[in-house]
Amino acid sequence: MPPPAVPETDLAHIRRWCDNAVPSRVADTIRVEFHRRAPWNPPATEWSHVPMAQLRYRPERGDWSLHWADRNGRWHPYADGNRQFGSIVELLAEVDDDPTAIFEG
């Protein structure tokens, strides 16, 4: 049995959030995918990546959970801010607000 599909409206919110997360003046140096940065040590050609936030869809509840990455790249439930579970809109707003400075420091 295939896993339940993530709602298209939620995917549209995520795409829009990613598209708007980086000001156009720095779009050639930062992308919001996994927050990748342009190479800064020539002759490096690979973008580096810094895990920022992970949103996990919970189909049994029809909502999302929010997680943060430690320095070793391990994911943990985000429990110190205002919202750990909710709609995609609520959790993207929590990442934007970043009340604990855990997502973008």
Average predicted confidence (pLDDT) for the chain: 83
pLDDT per position as a tens digit, 61-91: 999 999 999 988 899 999 988 999 999 999 9
The pLDDT of residue 97 is above 90: yes
CA distance 57 to 101: 23
pLDDT 10s digits, 21-38: 888 888 787 777 645 555
Kindly report the number of other CB atoms within 10 A of residue 11's CB atom: 13
Rounded to whole angstroms, how far apart are CA atoms 65 and 77? 8
Domain boundaries, the chain: 8-19+29-37+47-97
Q: What is the pLDDT of residue 104?
A: 78
